[in-house]
Structure 1
Amino acid sequence: MSAALFSRVNDAARPCLPAILARWLPDGKREGHEWVARNPRRGDQNPGSFKVNLTTGRWADFATSDRGGDPVSLAAYLFGMRQGDAAAKMASMLGIKCTA
């Protein structure tokens, strides 16, 4: 998976983040420039510590050390897959052709 494809996927995903996050983290809500939700990867009972910046795609769980810098890393984290696989799945979802 090329760095160029990662960039293309992340660039295409950023403007769509509110819709993507509503699908991936449906219990979350927009608070300013962030999507705030429960972390589905742990027994998170209340939203507040898991946040995604809707402009940059940077995300963090402030109750743990889990964090990342873009939508691809968020997909990899949420769905327990490697970043290359997450980028390929997101490329398909966003209509981006993966070329060698």
Structure 2
Amino acid sequence: MKKIVAVCACPMGVAHTYMAADAIEEAAKKLNMKVSVETQGAGGIEDKLKTKEIQDADLILFATAVKVSQTERFEDYKEKLVEITLKEAINDSERIIQENT
């Protein structure tokens, strides 16, 4: 089973962040893939991805409208990293995941 991790972030870390996270989770499950999603916003990091989750991921998605915090965790895995907008994540997660795994 393929594994996906994602970071969703917007300035406030409320509506669009969670909409994108939900869309990514739904698409991954539909495609029979394991998924873990971290959210970031004004309140900080929630559901922080574990190092092992990042290492084992077949795909890392950044669905963001702001700079991701603590990007150094992803430095060694840039070849698996795809950056998209929150709008793309909300509207087109399934296609994006399929094209990048």
The two structures share one fold, judged by TM-score above 0.5: no
Greater relative CO (CA pairs within 8 A, separation 6+): 2
Rg bigger for which structure? 1
Q: Which has the higher strand share?
A: 2
